[in-house]
Structure 1
Amino acid sequence: MYIKKLVIRNQKEGKNIREINFNLGVSLIVDISKITNQQDTGNDVGKTTVLRLINYCLGGKADEIYKNKESKSSINLTVKNFLINNEVLIVLTLCRDFSDPTTDIVIQRNFLKGNKKKICTINDCPFSNIENFKKELKSIFYNSNLDKPSFRQLIDRHLRFDYGSERIVNYLHFGTSDKEYEQIYLFLYGLYKASELSTNKSGELDKFKEYENIKKKLFKDRTSSLVQQEIIILNNDIENIEKQKKDFNINGLYQEELREIDDLNDQINNLMREYSTLKTCLKIYEQNILNLESEKCELEVKDVEALYNEAGIYLPTLNKTLEETIAFHNKLIINKINFIKSDIPALKNKVLELKEKIKIYTERKKYLEEKQKRHGSLSEYESLISSIKPLYEQKGKLLQEQEKIVEYDNLIDTCAEKIITINNEIQKYDKDLQTKLGVFNKYFTEYAMKFYNESYFISTLVSEKTKCYKFELSNLKGNIGTGKKKGVMSAYDLAYISFANELKLKCPKFVLHDRIEDIHSNQLVSLINLVNSSNFDGQYIVSVLSGKFKEEHLQTLLEQNKVIELSPQEKLFKIEQQTQQQS
């Protein structure tokens, strides 16, 4: 799937603001602003916004268009209001074949809300739900209807700005787990069944962790064996008292009622155990909610700030703000809280039901005991009953505790067994994975050698902690510098397109990069020549500053491959010009 054209249309006035036709090969979005030094990044003319508009048509968020690039907490109200007030429509045309218009796929999105004015279509088919829209895109791009990995997790591999602009292999946000990357890369390397197995394993890993946490909160370090030994000691004491009760000589007139009292004691004890367990669960649920709320607050003031600051040290161009990271995390917290709360009403009803039964049985027992007392002194017998009652209660609690410990042990063991089984199934695909990695590395090494005369490659290892594949970048000469990292990333991304073409995998045949000025001019020439060669079938769409390409041969390349020029006088949305015309 290629990107053929992007149209920005002012629907209110019925005219196009921009129409950008992309090349098969290299397409340069050129900012011709004058720069005074090598640190300048150019004015805010909209070169990166072109990439963001493509991203928006592929299921991205609207606010990424008008939020400040450097400080995302700041909103460009001029742009936002222009997009909304003029009912601006973004039209992205994709194609499977540049020379065959019948393969075109047209995506349209605007920035309005409400079903009557909102436009979100694929080939004129409307989508009111953004998730269904992204599922359809996944089917178009990858011929897959699986829920995981998600379309956005996959397509972000081809959109190298924000998170992906600094990380070559682990290109998503820093909270993405090993298990998610395993699903993603098994899918991207064409091992769809293995990726599906990895998704199943992810579910079992989540349950395994949840069961372990619940068990630890309920029972701390107590084990089934420890509880069993406590029960054995109690049974010895109970047997001794029961023997004394059996030997006790009592009038036969009271035997039936005494048996009923014993039965009521058993029933009350059983109900009390169940009542106690449910009350404990309620307490844990409520404590979990408080803990989650507390975690949310602490995260706002401590954890995320520290994590974000630390990330800023290693990822200086990280564009996600503290507020967005907090909002993302707090959304997860709120979902967990709502999930826990959904179980509480049923538990409370059950507790009330048990409480009522206990009350009824207790009143009946009290009545019978009072009746027994009126018939004569049973103090000695009652003393035996009184001494054995707490032992039975304690035993009941221990049996209930043991039952729950065994239950969670079984759940944990079952998850562990399933994880092992799934891992064994995934490992059956390892030979195929290594073969495909070999094909990918063939291109990766070739392209990296063209750019830097160095060999780079991807290898795998299985994490001891998560039991998941980790995909790692390696080379033979140590660390990658900043400028070199951009070039290696380009080689990596272009290698995937060539790899997918050779294996005939259905996927995007484009990659979008934001700024490649740090790449040395020699490598830049090699990069552009590679993508434009007959041996490469794909697109490299990148925003650049013309002022940083002063050499004549680079200027020639810019002229040959540019698809749009922007400047402070000719910004992307032409807001100033249109405002002047309207006034």
Structure 2
Amino acid sequence: MGSSIPTFKAVEFHPGMNIVLADQGPGSSGKDSRNGVGKTTLMEIVHFCLGGKLESDSTLGKPALGHAEFWIELELDGVRFSILRGVASEKTVLVAGMPDEWILPHRQQLGLDGTSLSLGELRTILGERAFGLGREEKGSHYPTFRSLFSFIAREGQAAYLSPFSTVPQMSAGDKQVLNSFLLGLGWEYAVQWQAWRERNEAVKSLKKALKGGALAGLGGVGELEADRVRLSQQHQRVARELADFRVLPEYQAIEREANRLTRAMQRRQNENVADAELLRMYEASLQEEADTEPQQLLALYEEAGVVLGEQVRKRLDEVKKFHSELIANRRTFLTKELSGIRSRIEERTRENQADEQEKAKYLGVLKEHRALDEYTQLQALNNELAGRVAEIESRIELLNGLEKQDTSVKGERIDLAQRTRADFIERRNARDAAVAIFNENSESLYNAPGTLIIDIGENGYTFDVRIEREGSEGIDKMKIFCYDLMLARLWSGRRPSPLLLMHDSTLFDGVDERQRGHALERAYHESDANGFQYIVFLNSDNLPRQEYLGEFCVDSHVRVRLDDT
């Protein structure tokens, strides 16, 4: 491993055990920390050269290293080759010594000093040659080189919180897929479980959204069906009425004419009532009219003993004559008036009879036909009912579809559980090997059995580890050590294989000195016996005493010493 930075100390790692040791320089005080003297940077370089993402807050992401280049030489699948990657051109890498048959299936450009590959191409090739990932094995939940390599070289504090995850809040699906792949289980079933979980969550989310949104308070399919029947009946009635509807364009004009005739007839009727009252008064006046004779007045005088002269008698005759003429004239006037009143009443009556017949014709037409605005209103009601029926039918179809999907998802879970369980049973030897190795690792540290629990739960694979002496941070860290060392041993017997395991000093934080020593001794023996490379980053003041290291000698395996001065 090297860099274009002149002060960078090139590092060469050997097969088996390798230690990167951070020493405290002679000019530093006891308060100086050795956690930032280069151990983490070396881990970053390994990930960077092997296609990792360059984080802005990382050491390599600092502006001062903007033009730096780093390279790593490694052996995979029996082939030794090198990878060079620059910070300024982080999206591509240069490779040298990589066989053409590795590269030719992928898009590439030839550079002056080697072959240029994109990060995607590099990751695909490394996945094929380190873990045997096929080119066809690609999908949103499929294992990738980077996700698997994060277990080989855990990076950052979050990577040392659980044996089964390497990033904060790793999804259950990723845990199942990656760990089942590394353990040699049916990881394809883990992929199917993740796809099933997504479908199941989608159905649940949709049902929840509908219950709290468009279908809130509408009940189930049964209630919607009842509403559909009721509204359909109402819609059919309105549709029939609309089909029989006869529109008369002149409806309003005829209606206005009928109303005019009604008003005219009412006016005439009122006038006839008034004339009839006047007629009665005139007829009564004629009956009460009396012809007062002057002779009667003369008889009254005589009875009173009054003798009237000739002149008076003559005057009375004149008065009688005048009175008779006056009465005759009044009778003539009243008779004429009575005749006129009767004529007017008769005329109005005839007109009303004629208008009544005309009005009856108009009303008959109106009874047979209806107005356009009424038709428009009826049509609007028909459309509204049709829309409501269609909406309810759509909701019923949606709910039925959701129920069908829900039933289908439940059936898929049962089928998937059965197939996963069958495959799980067939892979018993692989599980037994993993459990046995984990137990051996645990006993080498604590002289107490540890248990790796692999099972099938309601939603796919489940993983857990237990060591009898639980309850401290140190033991939790050693669970990770035992698990990772078990994976390294399992993969040492497979081809292709990364044949590598790397641990940062974070793994040993809070671990008792005795267990630190036993862990290093165990890693030494396992890597040497099984032919994989173990690289561990340690602080010199955290090294266990030799009495806890057994036959393992630290100094013989220190490949580089870093100081903080």
Query: How much does 1:163 deviate?
Result: 4.7
Residue 223 of structure 1 corresponds to which residue in structure 2?
Answer: 220
Matched AA of 1:540: Y
Q: Is it true that 1:398 corresponds to 2:380 in the alignment?
A: no
C-alpha contact (below 8 Å) 2:246/2:370 kept by paired residues: no
Deviation at 1:471, TM superposition (A): 0.5
Pairing partner for 2:74 from 90, 94, 102: 94
Q: State yes or no: 1:9 paired with 2:4.
A: yes
Q: 1:554 to 1:20 in 2, by over 3 A?
A: farther
Contact 2:248 2:370 in 1 (8 A): no
Aligned pairs for 1:436-515 (under 5 A) are 436-464=430-458, 467-475=459-467, 477=468, 479-502=470-493, 504=494, 506-515=496-505
| Superimposed CA distance per residue, residues 382-423 of structure 1 (whole angstroms, 9 cap, x where no aligned partner) | 776565443223212212222233334334444443343333
Inter-partner Cα distance in structure 1 for 2:128 and 2:70: 21
Task: Determine what percentage of the aligned residue pairs are the same residue.
Answer: 16
Distance 1:471 1:505, change over 3 A: farther
Conserved? CA contact 2:165–2:175, under 8 Å: no
Return the letter of the residue paired with 2:520.
I
Q: Which residue of 2 is the match for residue 323 of structure 1?
A: none
Distance 1:383 1:111, change over 3 A: closer
TM-score (norm 1): 0.63
1:80 equivalenced with 2:62 (yes/no): yes
| CA drift at 1:552 | 5.8
State the structure with more CA Rg. Answer: 2
Q: 1:110 aligns with which of 86, 93, 100?
A: 86
Report the Cα offset of residue 7 of structure 1: 1.8
What corresponds to 1:577 in structure 2?
A: none
- In the TM superposition, what are the counterparts of 1:129-278 in structure 2 within 5 Å? 130-145=119-134, 146-147=137-138, 148-191=142-185, 194-218=186-210, 219-220=215-216, 222-241=219-238
Name the SS of the counterpart of 2:541 in structure 1.
helix
Q: Compared with structure 1, are the counterparts of its residues 252 and 500 closer, same or farther at alpha carbon in structure 2 (3 Å cutoff)?
A: same
- Aligned-pair CA distance for 1:217: 2.5
User: How big is the shift at 1:27?
Assistant: 0.9
**CA–CA separation in structure 2 for the residues paired with 1:174 and 1:119:** 28
RMSD: 3.6
1:198-243 Cα distance to aligned partner (Å, 9 max, x none): 3233234223322432343343464333211111122233344456
Amino acid at match of 1:511: L
1:58 matched to 2:50? The reply is yes
The 2-side partners of 1:245 and 1:83 are apart by 82
Are the equivalent residues in 2 in contact too, given 1:447–1:491 (CA < 8 A)? yes
CA pair 62-114 structure 1, distance change in 2 beyond 3 A = closer
| Cα distance between partner residues in 2 of 1:43 and 1:489 | 20
Question: Is contact 1:197-1:426 (8 Å) kept?
Answer: yes
Does the C-alpha gap of structure 1 residues 40 and 425 become closer, same or farther in structure 2, counting only changes over 3 Å?
farther
Alpha-carbon distance between aligned partners in 1 of 2:181 and 2:94, rounded to the nearest angstrom: 27
**Gap regions ≥5 residues in structure 2:** 99-113, 250-365
Distance 1:420 1:180, change over 3 A: farther
CA contact (8 A) 2:491 2:498 kept: no
Is it true that 1:377 corresponds to 2:370 in the alignment?
A: yes
Q: 2:17–2:533: 8 Å Cα contact kept in structure 1?
A: yes
CA contact (8 A) 1:531 1:539 kept: no
Q: 1:117-132, aligned counterparts within 5 Å?
A: 119-121=93-95, 123=98, 124-128=114-118, 130-132=119-121
Give the secondary structure class of the aligned counterpart of 2:234: helix
Aligned to 1:366: none
Contact preservation (8 Å) 2:228, 2:392 = yes
In structure 2, C-alpha distance between the alignment counterparts of 1:89 and 1:528, rounded to whole Å: 32
Give the TM-score normalised by the residue count of structure 2: 0.65
CA distance in 2, matches of 1:474, 1:80: 41
Q: 1:228 to 1:545 in 2, by over 3 A?
A: same
- 1:187, distance to aligned residue in structure 2 (A): 1.2
- Per the TM alignment, residue 155 of structure 1 is displaced from its structure 2 partner at its CA by 1.0
Tell me the residue number matched to 2:299. Answer: none
Offset from partner CA, 1:415-474 (integer Å, 9 cap, x none): 44334333332222111344322211211111211111111121134444xx12120112
On the 8 A contact 2:45/2:70 being kept in 1, the answer is yes
User: Conserved in 1, the CA contact under 8 Å of 2:76 and 2:129?
Assistant: no
The CA distance in 1 between the partners of 2:380 and 2:84, in whole Å, is 79
Report if the CA contact (8 A) 2:431-2:454 is conserved: no
Query: Does the Cα contact within 8 Å between 1:49 and 1:65 map onto a contact in 2?
Result: no
Q: Quick one: which amino acid aligns to residue 237 of structure 1?
A: Q
Measured in 2, the distance between the counterparts of 1:443 and 1:176 equals: 25
* CA distance in structure 2 between the partners assigned to 1:521 and 1:389 by the alignment: 83
Shift of 1:378: 4.4
Q: Aligned partners of 1:53 and 1:93: how far apart in 2?
A: 12
- Larger mean Cα displacement after TM superposition, 517-526 or 51-60: 517-526
- In structure 2, the CA distance between the partners of 1:416 and 1:134, relative to structure 1 (3 Å rule), is farther
Q: What is the one-letter code of the residue matched to 1:177?
A: S
Residues 208 and 529 (structure 1), Cα distance of their counterparts in 2 relative to 1, 3 Å cut: closer
